Chain A
Amino acid sequence: MIGLGNYLILSGVLFSIGIWGVVTSRNVLKVLLSMELLLAASNLCFVVFSKFNGDYAGQLIVFFVILVAAAEVAVGLAIIVLMYKRLNTIQADELKEMKW
């Protein structure tokens, strides 16, 4: 039987991979994609808890999270485009004008 634990661990794996992606990727686009993994992991959690707790709140939250993610991605991509335009790269480690 697939219980709560399986789902939660799966979401944990997804989240961890997301973290890995965020930290590892030098391409900001990939960073942004990895962020989506984080959100996906959260969404999975919400739905699972919704199922196992027996209320709908979790599913509704997922609905909103999707919208938030969409807005975030839109702005993020706009900035990425701008960055590519301006710096001709989307490598995160090129962004080191400011440090120390």
Chain B
Amino acid sequence: MVEPCIVWTAYFSPLVACVLITLFFLRSRNMSSLIAIGGILLSFICTLIVATQIFATRPISTTFQQTPNGLEIAHTWPAHVFQQSLPWIGFDSLVINFGYLVNPLAIMMLLVVTGVGSAIFIYSRGYMADDPGMPRFFAYLSLFAFSMIGIVLADNLIQLFIFWELVGLSSYLLIGFWYQKPSAADAGVKAFMVNRFADFGFLCGIILLWSHSNIGFGRTFDIDQLATIVPHIDPGLLTITALLLFCGIVGKSAQVPLHVWLADAMEGPTPVSALIHAATMVAAGVYLLARIFFIFEPLTIALSVIAWVGGITALMAATLAVAENDIKRILAYSTLSQLGLMVMALGLSGPMQGMYHLTTHAFFKALLFLGAGSVIYALHHEQNIWKMRGLLKSMPVTGWTFLIGTLALCGIFPLSGFWSKDEILALAAQHNFSLYVMASLASILTAFYMGRLFFVAFWGKPAKNSHAHESPAIMTWPLIFLALLSLIGGFIGIPHFLYPGNEHPHLNMRVALVSSVLALLGLAVSFVLYNKKPDADPLEKALGPIYPVLKNKYYFDDIYGWYVNKLQQGMATTTAWVEALFIDRFGVHGVTRTANAAGRIFRLLQTGLVQFYALTFVLGTLLLFLMLVRNL
């Protein structure tokens, strides 16, 4: 057993950093960054300690044991799972705990989060050095890290939802960090809103699951308890639940059709992009899918939906990246594409494969983003690849590490990306050929657009007027660290760590060969096209009518824009109109106007003519008599 306090330290140290910065160090640039970096490093170290404990022991058995709920729930798990739950909300039938559930999957993810996160934090110290809002930035960043850790460790769905939302919140804050820039602020709102919308389904799913978990020990949100309960739930209902939960994942992991926020999220500072794309936010969706895979496992329909969503995302995002000129956006689409692959893997019942790719992807995608950030930093926030030239020479460290990242992403042997991607392709080839084709197509395209990016921006001679120079050490060291991880990621047995009991699948030689060839093909094509540094993108002519479609991102933004501006706003306007007209004018003012009119009319009875008064008096008496005599 590991000391709970170590886990809790890993859990809360970024939060403490965030709070400290917010309360005391909002004006101190050095202290704030140091505290934030210290926080995440502490968390990383604690994670490492926990990880050593976890992986030091071997699983005894894979059966789960249950104990009834107590005030403090301490489960006796096999040694490689640690759990502690503290009561948070608890009365009557409702139990919501606050705790952690550490299993190999979680610890692996946590390592990625804190490890890659640490690199990004350190890098940010350099990248944001000139920004006046740096303390605020580090506070947000720490909050983000905390939220992500919370998702990873959460032991029940409500807690998970809380951190899920907090991730959305902190992504909103970070993307919109330069809030005075309208595009950045808009991007933040967009990211948050899309996530919120997705979470609508997610929360419905959670509550639905909870309301049907009344088997055995009363309703529960507890993930490990749910694992034992799920098999008893009606599959039809479970499918609905699963799809609702998947809604949240679609939003967070930016799957089609809710992928639109991701590219816009590039408006945030580059370290944020790195963090969101590599280690945290988008990965959270995939991680969640793996974490609660026991729900999806028996549901073929849900799984195929997931697989197809993943596949489509992979292919579509890859095509979009081809027509993009912004270095960060290209990377963003590549992230999308890779996430699609991961989700597809999970849809094909391969959580291990998905998580494996997630891990390696975290390494090289963080590397790529940080590299891009380094470039952007050097070029004074120039992001258009066509304005970059020969950076490999002027920025060697950045350039070479970027190349490593590129190759890893393309899946070139023996870099980490090769191994993990191959697992997924093999899985697809095994289960669903059409998905395999789509994934392969995505791979070619990946190789192509990454090649395009690299050859345009880094290859060749530097521009004469370029003042680009290498970034400071605090930014390059994280690059080197991540490059190292990308290099060796395939050899350190990540799958084994993830699912200790599982057999490690053997390399499918045929698939590996095909994918390698395809990747090289893609790179080759891009080399041919872009080696000579054309002034304009030759693709524009080559693709013909398809190009505008890609440029407009398959018109998704327009559709959503139509929805937001026309449909939603139209509904809102109609509602406001209904209120103004029916409730206020006809209803409220109608009543008052009726009263007014009645008053005005009755008023006229008071003619001022005394004879009329007398007449009324007489008639009143007569009427009174008639009323009285009516009873007889």
A-side residues, CB < 8 A to B, are 19, 22-26, 31, 92-93, 95-100
Tell me which of A92, A97, A98, A100 contacts B611 (CB under 8 A).
Answer: A92
* Residue of B with least CB distance to A22: B614
Interface size class of chain B, counting residues whose CB lies under 8 Å from the partner chain: 10 to 19
Which 9 A/B pairs are nearest by Cβ-Cβ distance? A99-B608, A96-B608, A23-B615, A100-B603, A92-B610, A22-B614, A23-B614, A100-B606, A93-B609
Q: Given the interface contacts A99-B606, A100-B604, A100-B606, does A25 sit within 8 Å of B611 by beta carbon? A: yes
Q: Mark B592-632, 1 if CB is under 8 A from A, else 0.
A: 00000000000110111111001100100000000000000
* Residue of A with least CB distance to B622: A19
* Residue of B with least CB distance to A92: B610
Q: Which A residues touch B604, using CB under 8 A? A: 100
Q: Do B609 and A96 have beta carbons less than 8 Å apart? A: yes
Q: Which A residues touch B603, using CB under 8 A? A: 100
Q: Which B residues touch A100, using CB under 8 A? A: 603-604, 606, 608
Q: Do B608 and A97 have beta carbons less than 8 Å apart? A: yes
Q: Which B residues touch A23, using CB under 8 A? A: 611, 614-615, 618
- In the bound complex, CA of A15 to CA of B614 (Å): 14
Q: Which B residues touch A96, using CB under 8 A? A: 607-609
Q: Do A95 and B606 have beta carbons less than 8 Å apart? A: no
The minimal Cβ–Cβ distance linking B604 to chain A, given in whole angstroms, is 7
Q: Do B609 and A92 have beta carbons less than 8 Å apart? A: yes
Q: Which A residues touch B606, using CB under 8 A? A: 99-100
Q: Which A residues touch B618, using CB under 8 A? A: 19, 22-23
The minimal Cβ–Cβ distance linking A93 to chain B, given in whole angstroms, is 5
- In the bound complex, CA of A24 to CA of B618 (Å): 12
Q: Which B residues touch A95, using CB under 8 A? A: 608-610
| Segment 347-361 of B: residues with Cβ below 8 Å from A | none
- In the bound complex, CA of A96 to CA of B614 (Å): 14
**Cβ contacts A to B, 15 pairs, < 8 Å:** A19-B618, A23-B611, A23-B618, A24-B611, A31-B610, A31-B611, A31-B614, A92-B609, A93-B611, A95-B608, A95-B609, A96-B607, A98-B608, A99-B609, A100-B606
Q: Which B residues touch A93, using CB under 8 A? A: 609-611
- In the bound complex, CA of A40 to CA of B618 (Å): 18
Q: Beyond the given A93-B609, A99-B607, A99-B609, please list 5 additional residue pairs across the A-B interface where CB-CB is below 8 A.
A: A93-B611, A95-B609, A95-B610, A96-B608, A99-B606
* Residue of A with least CB distance to B600: A100
Q: Which B residues touch A99, using CB under 8 A? A: 606-609
- In the bound complex, CA of A88 to CA of B611 (Å): 19
The minimal Cβ–Cβ distance linking A90 to chain B, given in whole angstroms, is 12
The minimal Cβ–Cβ distance linking B610 to chain A, given in whole angstroms, is 5
The minimal Cβ–Cβ distance linking A96 to chain B, given in whole angstroms, is 4
Q: Which A residues touch B609, using CB under 8 A? A: 92-93, 95-96, 99
Tell me which of B607, B608, B611, B615 contacts A26 (CB under 8 A).
Answer: B611
- In the bound complex, CA of A99 to CA of B608 (Å): 4
- In the bound complex, CA of A26 to CA of B614 (Å): 12
- In the bound complex, CA of A93 to CA of B607 (Å): 10
Residue of B607, B611, B615, B618 with most chain A CB atoms under a 10 A cut-off: B611
* Residue of A with least CB distance to B615: A23
| Segment 116-156 of B: residues with Cβ below 8 Å from A | none
Q: Which A residues touch B615, using CB under 8 A? A: 23
Q: Mark B568-609, 1 if CB is under 8 A from A, else 0.
A: 000000000000000000000000000000000001101111
The minimal Cβ–Cβ distance linking B170 to chain A, given in whole angstroms, is 67
- In the bound complex, CA of A98 to CA of B609 (Å): 9
The minimal Cβ–Cβ distance linking B599 to chain A, given in whole angstroms, is 10
* Residue of B with least CB distance to A98: B608
* Residue of A with least CB distance to B605: A100
- In the bound complex, CA of A31 to CA of B611 (Å): 9
- In the bound complex, CA of A27 to CA of B618 (Å): 19
- In the bound complex, CA of A97 to CA of B607 (Å): 10
Q: Which A residues touch B607, using CB under 8 A? A: 96, 99
Q: Which A residues touch B614, using CB under 8 A? A: 22-23, 31
Q: Which B residues touch A98, using CB under 8 A? A: 608
Q: Which B residues touch A25, using CB under 8 A? A: 611
* Residue of B with least CB distance to A25: B611
The minimal Cβ–Cβ distance linking A37 to chain B, given in whole angstroms, is 13
- In the bound complex, CA of A98 to CA of B611 (Å): 14
- In the bound complex, CA of A25 to CA of B610 (Å): 10
Q: Which B residues touch A19, using CB under 8 A? A: 618
The minimal Cβ–Cβ distance linking A39 to chain B, given in whole angstroms, is 15
- In the bound complex, CA of A26 to CA of B612 (Å): 11
- In the bound complex, CA of A97 to CA of B609 (Å): 10
The minimal Cβ–Cβ distance linking B621 to chain A, given in whole angstroms, is 10
The minimal Cβ–Cβ distance linking A55 to chain B, given in whole angstroms, is 27
- In the bound complex, CA of A25 to CA of B607 (Å): 16
Q: Which A residues touch B611, using CB under 8 A? A: 22-26, 31, 92-93
